[in-house]
């Protein structure tokens, strides 16, 4: 029998592993081998194939860029939409402390980002004592700017991985495979920007391959930091420290 990897916890919120499995299947419809398949799921576990590690390669990075373009292009029903087969909100963050991830249906990316991403984390950070009044004011100002559509583009809702930091890309002898999603409908630049938060191998080649399949909108480089605001806020709420000024400074840049 092929080796399996079992991800388990008895303390996650009810439905957590079903949420992750639903997201993987939704992404896999378009991403094929670039998305880890689900072998089994239960209330307290998720079973996946065991993936042997291999060194990152330029070719694997380029193949992943093309796969991400296909996944994003498969689309979603709306900005903020859950993966097909899932109802309600989801979660984002480490298995030890997943944060609620608001889902639903918004008519444009900016209002979705404001109401479902920036403001909920501003409230949570304030309640936890992470953000002071002045920092919350910056985040609220960004939310107003986003909701006004100032930073919207013509990109339709994309099928996002939603937690695509470098650690959620596994490099195997057969290529790169994505794991641990928080899948939803969003702006495709968000996944790409998150890869840059901690630096994915051969990222320029990955982005070039992506752009060949699905050309990015004008000015996307200037929006990388904008799309990093949400993951930086998540890290600020969970871990504090230098993530707090980093997140607030990024928000202020676009507020």
DSSP alpha helix (H) spans, the chain: 16-31, 58-73, 109-113, 119-127, 133-147, 188-195, 203-213, 224-239, 243-254
Dump pLDDT digits (tens) for 79-115. 999 999 999 999 999 999 999 999 999 999 999 999 9
Q: Is 185 helix (H, G, I), strand (E, B) or coil?
A: strand
Helix (H) or strand (E) holding 187: none
DSSP 106: B
Residue 169 has a pLDDT of 97
**All domains of the chain in start order, with CATH:** 4-50+63-86+104-254 (3.90.1200.10)
Given 63, 163, 180, 191, which residue is catalytic? 163
- Tokens found for residue 216: 């990015």
Residue 123 has a pLDDT of 97
Dump pLDDT digits (tens) for 148-169. 999 999 999 999 999 999 999 9
Q: Is 163 one of the catalytic residues?
A: yes
Best CA proximity match to 88, nearest among 110, 68, 105: 105
Residue 2 has pLDDT above 80, yes or no: no
Best CA proximity match to 44, nearest among 3, 87, 15, 4: 15
Percent of the chain with pLDDT over 70: 100
Residue 46 has pLDDT above 80, yes or no: yes
| DSSP labels, 30-92 | HHGGGBPPP-EEETTEEEEE--------HHHHHHHHHHHHHHHHT--SSBTPPPTT--S-EEE
Contact by Cβ (8 Å): 65, 207: yes
CA gap 19, 146 in Å, rounded: 28
Residue 121 has pLDDT above 80, yes or no: yes
Which band of pLDDT confidence, cut at 50, 70 and 90, is reported for residue 1? low
> What is the value of pTM for the model shown?
0.95
Helix (H) or strand (E) holding 101: strand 99-101
């Amino acid at each position: 029998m092929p080796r399996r990897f079992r991800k388990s916890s008895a303390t996650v919120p009810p439905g957590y592993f079903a949420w992750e499995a639903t997201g993987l299947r939704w992404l896999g419809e378009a991403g094929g081998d670039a998305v880890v398949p689900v072998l089994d799921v239960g209330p307290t576990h998720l079973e996946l194939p065991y993936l042997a590690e291999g060194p990152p390669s330029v070719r694997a990075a380029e193949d992943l860029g093309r796969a991400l373009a296909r996944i994003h292009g498969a689309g979603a029903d709306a900005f903020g939409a859950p993966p097909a087969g899932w109802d309600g909100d989801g979660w984002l963050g480490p298995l030890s402390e997943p944060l609620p991830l608001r889902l639903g249906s918004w008519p444009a990316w900016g209002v979705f980002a404001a109401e479902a991403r920036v403001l909920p984390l501003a409230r949570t950070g304030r309640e936890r004592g992470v953000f002071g009044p002045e920092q919350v004011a910056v985040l609220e100002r960004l939310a107003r700017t986003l909701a006004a559509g100032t930073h919207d583009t013509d990109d339709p809702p994309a099928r996002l991985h939603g937690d695509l930091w470098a650690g959620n890309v596994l490099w195997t002898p057969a290529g790169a495979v994505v794991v641990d999603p928080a899948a939803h409908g969003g702006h495709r630049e968000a996944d790409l920007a998150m890869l840059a938060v901690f630096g994915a191998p051969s990222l320029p080649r990955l982005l070039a391959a992506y752009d060949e399949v699905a050309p990015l909108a004008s000015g996307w480089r200037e929006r990388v930091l904008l799309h990093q605001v949400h993951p930086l806020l998540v890290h600020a709420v969970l871990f504090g420290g230098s993530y707090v000024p980093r997140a607030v400074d990024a928000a202020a840049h676009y507020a």
